[in-house]
Amino acid sequence: MAVKKRMKDFTLMEKIYLPSIVAGLSITLQNMFKPKYTMEYPEVKFMPSGHYRGRPVLVQEEDGGERCVACGLCSRVCPALAIDIQAAETEREKERYPERFEINMLRCIFCGLCEEVCPEEAIVMSKEYEIAFTNRQDAIYGKDKLLTPIADLQERIEFLRNNK
Amino acid sequence: MGKFILDGQEIGFKPGQTIIEAAKEVGVDIPHFCWHPSLSVSGNCRVCLVEVEKMPKLAIACATQASEGMVVHTESTKALSARQAVMEFLLINHPLDCPICDEAGECKLQDYTFSHSVGESRFTEEKQHKEKRVPLGPHVMFDGDRCISCSRCIRFCDEIAGESELTFVNRGDRVTIQTFPGKELKNPYSLCVTDICPVGALTNRDFRFKARVWDMSNTSSVCPGCSRGCNVDVWVRSNEILRLTPRENEEVNNVWMCDEGRLNTWKHVNAGDRVDGPQIRRGEGLSKATWDEIYSKASAELHGFTANEIAFIGSARSTVEDNHLLAKLANHLHCKNIDFPRHIVPGSGDKILRKEDKTPNSAGALAAGISPVKDGLAFEEIMTAVKSHKIKALVVVEEDIAAMDEKYATALKQLQLLVVLASNFNATTELAHIVIPAATWTEKNGVFINFEGRAQRIRPAVATEQMDRSLDGFSMSRLDKFGTKFDRWGNYKKYDARPVWRIFLDLGHLLGLKAKFEFAEDVWEDFTKHSPGFHGITYDELGEMGLTVKKNYI
Ligand code: SF4
Ligand code: SF4
Ligand code: SF4
Ligand code: SF4
């Protein structure tokens, strides 16, 4: 059975603490001159790369229309039932579009399944993580908040294509 | 009855039966696209290929007659690989349209691709493109790309609807469906082709893109469009009806229903002119009142008339339960003037399904006792008596009498008391002193009795203010199950309306009627006690399919 080391068994060097304090301070000193990992949020903002799963957004084509065909697969797969869609007919070749497309950000858990299931690459996870509201109604994001120009989403789309 | 062996199991067959029919009877579903139990055999899709021992080649189960001692394999290597090959062929030119296709979720091609195909295509060439979004008629949209040329729609028009409107044109991979020159797909049953089309090539223009099938709940009910009483499913999302589809019942409608019933029997349920809460006439217009207010006002006013000055008009659009309580109340008040208007449209029937009586429950209204008691007045006589001030108080159930005839409208203006039970505002409610909101056929339980004396259940599919989808045992979609009142789809409109029988029960209590019913089922039980033909028949016994009662009882 191991004998427990007691206070009175410390060596002199251990008893005077000083060497340990110096050792600790030297680590602090070293780190003061290394690059920093923390950020002064919100003055400084975190800019994630393409792998990041921020809030889901809808891809807006260059002509201003949405890519989504309102197939409802994202709404079906969403484990949190965050997505509510009403489809309607359009004259364009794709035949249907979402007349209403809403994501309830209080329900969304940022899992990215909607993005994964979408057959049209029409819904993708953005880099946006600043999501705050003061009442339930504001938490429901409609097309106005969801549609994002495709140019702003290139990085994510490339990430998705490379990591199929 | 002979016997043959299907996948190692001995099953019986009737002479002349094909393998697919015999298998279906014992619950084995041999994959098929073009074969349909109610249509002739066409044998063109080839997906039902099975291996029959001692036959040199694989045989199509839909056109091969079963014979004594035959040994059939549906899951042998040969049969499986043939089926997979057929699936691969069918998918060569089929577009990846599922995201924009209304059939998705109830598509035979999707189902079979999932269960019977290898899931990969070796076809890298450009697919054939055909015309998309072609209206074939007023109700049906055609998509050439999706058609798998099974010919079910053509055979339906030829054999069931009796009007040849569709045909194949071109051949090989260019083959497509067209209407005959100068014709449209507009027979009275045209929408049935959207039910039997195994893919999304033919879709319902009225329902187009309204909802995904998996987001809706479906409730077994009965079409109120005519006295046939076709069995239907009512499809609802967010408490709103989006479509009706026929429900199989060989005794009544097989798998069909007419376009009129499918499209025009439920629009009023969602319409903007619903009576939402009881209304009382104050001066010129109607204004909202509470249920207690209208019950006490109606009962107090009815008290002021003698039995001969009152008349009740029931309806063949209301259920047996509704009419039963109306008859009970009239009887309690010793009122003999009770009848219901008929809605017979000569020439509107045919030999297929449609009947000339445009109400679902004439037989039920009669069975419930909605007919003048000895010396009482019939409908026409009541209206004449209203005109001549002999009848001073009238209670009308779910009938827009003022719209039926100009002279009725004038007559109704003479009344001292007009109580109308209606689901929507109409010409009669315009003249009413009290309007009581009645639940529609999709918002209550009840029974309709069709022209043959078949009693069939209707069930609530849309919730009114007093109902709750989960507590009241509604059919529920995924959205219904998990929605909250903070979700748009869970935060839907519910109308403040009640079933007619409940209205008469509550009103009856104030008039001294002693009756105690909690549910529609209790009213039905009371009705069966008093109607010999229905003795002991419960809701459970009526089940999904209904029961035919001997005609001489009704
Ligand atoms: S990220 Fe997940 S939870 Fe959020 S909307 Fe998409 S599927 Fe739903
Ligand atoms: S899965 Fe894609 S195309 Fe389908 S509804 Fe969602 S965003 Fe639109
Ligand atoms: S018909 Fe079926 S397989 Fe074809 S696109 Fe429509 S849902 Fe998909
Ligand atoms: S339209 Fe539909 S029912 Fe008609 S042939 Fe084509 S796949 Fe068959």
Beta-carbon contacts of B41 under 8 Å, excluding residues fewer than 6 positions away, are B18, B35, B62, B63
B-chain residues near A84 (CB < 8 A): 487-489
Instruction: Name the 3-class secondary structure at B542.
Output: helix
Instruction: Tell me the pLDDT band of A3, cut-offs 50, 70 and 90.
Output: low
Q: Could you tell me if B244 and B266 are in contact, meaning their C-beta atoms sit under 8 angstroms apart?
A: yes
Q: What ligand has the least distance to the C-alpha of A122? A: 2
B-chain residues near A121 (CB < 8 A): none
Per-residue confidence (pLDDT) for residue B485, from 0 to 100: 86
Per-residue confidence (pLDDT) for residue A164, from 0 to 100: 77
Q: Could you tell me if B41 and B63 are in contact, meaning their C-beta atoms sit under 8 angstroms apart?
A: yes
Say if residue B138 is preceded by a cis peptide, omega within 30 of 0.
no
Which residue does chain A place closest to B212, by CA atoms?
Answer: A72
* Distance in Å, CA A111 to ligand 1 centroid: 5
Q: pTM of the prediction?
A: 0.92
Residue pairs between chains A and B whose CB atoms are closer than 8 Å: 45
pLDDT per residue over A54-83, tens digit each? 999 999 999 999 999 999 999 999 999 999
* Distance in Å, CA B198 to ligand 4 centroid: 7
Per-residue confidence (pLDDT) for residue B553, from 0 to 100: 53
Ligand 4 pocket test, pick from B42, B140, B146, B147 with the greatest ligand atom count within 8 Å of Cβ, gives: B147
Distance in angstroms (rounded) separating the CA atoms of residues B548 and B554: 11
The runs of H, that is alpha helices, within B106-150 are 108-116
Per-residue confidence (pLDDT) for residue B255, from 0 to 100: 97
Q: Could you tell me if B427 and B400 are in contact, meaning their C-beta atoms sit under 8 angstroms apart?
A: yes
In the predicted structure, residue A99 carries a pLDDT above the cut 70: yes
Domains of chain B (ranges, CATH numbers): 2-91 (3.10.20.740), 125-269 (3.30.70.20), 279-460+498-553 (3.40.50.740)
Distance in angstroms (rounded) separating the CA atoms of residues B400 and A122: 50
* Distance in Å, CA A142 to ligand 1 centroid: 15
A109 CB under 6 A from ligand 1?
Answer: yes
Contact (CB<8Å) A95/B486: no
Which atom of ligand 1 is found nearest the CA of A117? 7
Q: Could you tell me if B520 and B444 are in contact, meaning their C-beta atoms sit under 8 angstroms apart?
A: yes
Nearest-CA neighbor of B199 among B259, B152, B136? Answer: B152
Contact (CB<8Å) B479/A140: no
Instruction: Name the 3-class secondary structure at A80.
Output: coil
Chain A interface, mutation test: which of B484, B486, B489, B491, most A Cβ atoms within 10 Å? B486
Count of beta carbons in the 10 Å neighbourhood of residue B1: 8
Domains of chain A (ranges, CATH numbers): 56-163 (3.30.70.3270)
Distance in angstroms (rounded) separating the CA atoms of residues A92 and A80: 32
Q: By alpha-carbon position, which residue is closest to atom 7 of ligand 3?
A: B104
Q: By alpha-carbon position, which residue is closest to atom 3 of ligand 4?
A: B197
In the predicted structure, residue A1 carries a pLDDT above the cut 60: no
Which atom of ligand 3 is found nearest the CA of B101? 6
**CA-CA distances (angstroms) from residue B55 to A43, B73, B278?**
82, 12, 73
Q: By alpha-carbon position, which residue is closest to atom 5 of ligand 2?
A: A70
B-chain residues near A69 (CB < 8 A): 99-100
A143 CB under 6 A from ligand 2?
Answer: no
Which residue does chain A place closest to B210, by CA atoms?
Answer: A87
B99 vs A73, A102, A136: nearest CB: A73
Beta-carbon contacts of B206 under 8 Å, excluding residues fewer than 6 positions away, are B139, B243, B263
Buried b (16+ CB within 10 A) or exposed e, B478-515: ebbeebeeebebbebebbbbbbbbbbbbbbbeebebee
Q: What ligand has the least distance to the C-alpha of A60? A: 2
Per-residue confidence (pLDDT) for residue B219, from 0 to 100: 97
φ, ψ of residue A141 to 5 degrees: the values are: -90, 125
In which element (H, E) is residue A57 found? strand A56-60
B-chain residues near A136 (CB < 8 A): 486
* Distance in Å, CA B82 to ligand 4 centroid: 22
Which tokens in the block code for residue B280?
A: 């009382």
In the predicted structure, residue A7 carries a pLDDT above the cut 80: no
Instruction: Tell me the pLDDT band of A2, cut-offs 50, 70 and 90.
Output: low
A69 vs B99, B212, B215: nearest CB: B99
Distance in angstroms (rounded) separating the CA atoms of residues B165 and B186: 8
Q: CA Rg, chain B, in Å?
A: 27
Contact (CB<8Å) B482/A81: yes
Per-residue confidence (pLDDT) for residue B149, from 0 to 100: 96
* Distance in Å, CA A6 to ligand 3 centroid: 78
Per-residue confidence (pLDDT) for residue B119, from 0 to 100: 85
Contact (CB<8Å) A88/B209: yes
**CA-CA distances (angstroms) from residue A13 to A6, A18, A21, A23?**
15, 8, 12, 13
Nearest-CA neighbor of B323 among B510, B526, B540? Answer: B526
Contact (CB<8Å) A84/B132: no
* Distance in Å, CA B154 to ligand 4 centroid: 8
Mind listing the pLDDT tens digit of every residue in chain B (554 residues)?
899 999 999 999 999 999 999 999 999 999 999 999 999 999 999 999 999 999 999 999 999 999 999 999 999 999 999 999 999 999 999 999 999 999 999 999 999 999 999 988 899 999 999 999 999 999 999 999 999 999 999 999 999 999 999 999 999 999 999 999 999 999 999 999 999 999 999 999 999 999 999 999 999 999 999 999 999 999 999 999 999 999 999 999 999 999 999 999 999 999 999 999 999 999 889 999 999 999 999 999 999 999 999 999 999 999 999 999 999 999 999 999 999 999 999 999 999 999 999 999 999 999 999 999 989 999 999 999 999 999 999 999 999 999 999 999 999 999 999 999 999 999 999 999 999 999 999 999 999 999 999 999 999 999 999 999 989 999 999 999 998 888 888 889 999 999 999 999 999 999 999 999 999 999 999 999 988 889 889 999 999 999 998 655 55
Residues paired with residue B448 on neighbouring β-strands, in sequence order: B456
Distance in angstroms (rounded) separating the CA atoms of residues B456 and B524: 12
pLDDT per residue over A109-159, tens digit each? 999 999 999 999 999 999 999 999 999 999 999 999 999 999 999 999 999
Which atom of ligand 4 is found nearest the CA of B148? 7
Q: Distance from A69 to chain B by nearest Cα, in Å?
A: 7
Q: Distance from A72 to chain B by nearest Cα, in Å?
A: 7
Residues of B with CB under 8 A from a CB of A: 96, 98-100, 104, 132-133, 208-212, 214-215, 478-479, 482-483, 486-489
* Distance in Å, CA B109 to ligand 3 centroid: 6
B146 CB under 6 A from ligand 3?
Answer: yes
DSSP track, B55-87: -SS-EETTTSBP-TT-EEESSSHHHHHHHHHHH
Q: CA Rg, chain A, in Å?
A: 26
Ligand 2 pocket test, pick from A59, A61, A74 with the greatest ligand atom count within 8 Å of Cβ, gives: A74
**CA-CA distances (angstroms) from residue B283 to B224, B244, B293, B435?**
36, 41, 17, 14
B-chain residues near A75 (CB < 8 A): 212, 215
Per-residue confidence (pLDDT) for residue B551, from 0 to 100: 57
